[in-house]
Structure 1
Amino acid sequence: MKEWFLLYCKRSEQERAVLNLDRQGVECYYPQVLINKLVRGKRIEVEEPLFPSYMFVYFDPEEISYTTIRSTRGVADFIRQGRMPQPIRAELLYGLMLNENTQEQQSKLSTLPQPGDKLVLEKGQYKGIEAIYHEPDGEKRSFMLINLLGKEVKVSVDNSEIVKK
């Protein structure tokens, strides 16, 4: 039975991993966002992974072994709890897919709140909850993803779900 798993990829090799996993019949997903960055003194929009070095894969472990996936070029290893890779709840992943930034939402990324700003969530299961904006950095978003999967405490919400207080 097919399930979703989380992979850790070698630094900046997600594209390579996707190509090689795709050839093996493994479905891959890693959300990307447009970010305004200062490059060589000019502000440009750059597309970057929402969770750098992490990718979700969908496959049947009885058809394709964990070792085959782990040995794929660009892949470092599975995120595990104990010895075996742990499946990811599909609802969590489909929620990410549904909230993936559209072009309209991506333009809002240039007006992100500053860390420490108080916000109120407008949509989703956390509607009406006051929150404090914490992190725009991709590497730290990845740590928050791992905490979310392990503890289910920290949440990442779409920018359209928040209002500055």
Structure 2
Amino acid sequence: MVEHQKIKKWLPVYTKSRAEKKAQQALLGKNIEAYLPLQRQLKQWSDRKKWVDEPLIKSYLFVHIEPGQQTEVLMTNGISRFIYFSGEIAAMPDKQIQDLKLLLASPYELEITEERLQPGEKIEIKAGPLKGIIGEIIEYKSQKQLLLRLGDLQHSIVVNVAASLIERIP
């Protein structure tokens, strides 16, 4: 009898409010691969300014697990639930997680929006640190803004990219 190989998938999970970092640490403590996209931001207090790493998408992190590990994830401190789309847990292709990591490592300033942006013209970035990433144009300014959808998460990432670095996909 041949045993089926269990395939790990990236699944988005919703965390309790402001518990993303603690939930990630708890998952890692259970040897569960967890990815929390963080963005460095300058925060202003009344007496000082400080650079802090903030979650790119509030209350979201991603786990790379086999189907049998879902209960263990849900039993982790700080985790509320999996994200569902059309009645099933939303799964993200490895490439989307790689693209997200690439975006966060790039010098581009990112903006997250929950706005339901209408799909536009599809493009691919042809040069620079984001080369190979495919997205949709959402607005024309002095530069084109590139919209990258994160699967079925109902969130979008907006990145300013020079028009000379993109090419239309027919």
Mapping for residues 129-140 of structure 1, pairs under 5 Å: 129=137, 131=139
Could you tell me which runs of 5 or more consecutive residues in structure 1 were left unpaired when the two chains were aligned: 113-120, 134-143
Query: Measured at CA, do residues 30 and 54 of structure 1 come closer, stay the same or move farther in structure 2, by a change above 3 Å?
Result: same
Aligned: 1:156 with 2:157:
yes
Higher strand share: 2
In structure 1, the residue matched to 2:84 is: 80
TM-score, length-normalised on structure 2?
A: 0.63
Mapping for residues 116-131 of structure 1, pairs under 5 Å: 123=125, 124-126=133-135, 129=137, 131=139
Q: Tell me, what secondary structure is at the counterpart of 1:100?
A: helix
After superposition, the C-alpha distances for 1:124-162 in whole angstroms (9 at most, x for unaligned) are 4349x46269xxxxxxxxxx99x743388x742445x25
Q: Distance in 2 between matches of 1:14 and 1:126?
A: 27
Query: Which of 10, 16, 20 is the matching residue for 2:16?
Result: 10
Could you tell me which runs of 5 or more consecutive residues in structure 2 were left unpaired when the two chains were aligned: 1-6, 112-122, 126-132, 142-146, 164-170
In structure 2, the residue matched to 1:52 is: 58
Root-mean-square deviation (Å): 3.4
Amino acid of the residue matched to residue 2 of structure 1? Answer: K
Higher relative contact order (CA 8 A, sep 6+): 1
Number of equivalences: 134
Q: CA deviation at 1:92?
A: 1.4
Higher helix share: 1
In structure 1, the residue matched to 2:98 is: 94
In structure 1, the residue matched to 2:167 is: none
Query: Measured at CA, do residues 79 and 130 of structure 1 come closer, stay the same or move farther in structure 2, by a change above 3 Å?
Result: closer
Q: CA deviation at 1:36?
A: 2.2
Q: Considering only CA atoms, is the larger Rg found in Structure 1 or Structure 2?
A: 2
Q: Percent of aligned positions with the same letter in both sequences?
A: 24
Amino acid of the residue matched to residue 149 of structure 1? Answer: G
TM-score, length-normalised on structure 1?
A: 0.64
Q: Tell me, what secondary structure is at the counterpart of 1:149?
A: coil
Greater alpha carbon shift after TM alignment, 45-54 vs 32-41: 32-41
In structure 1, the residue matched to 2:73 is: 69
Contact 2:90 2:152 in 1 (8 A): no
In structure 1, the residue matched to 2:25 is: 19
Contact 1:34 1:45 in 2 (8 A): yes
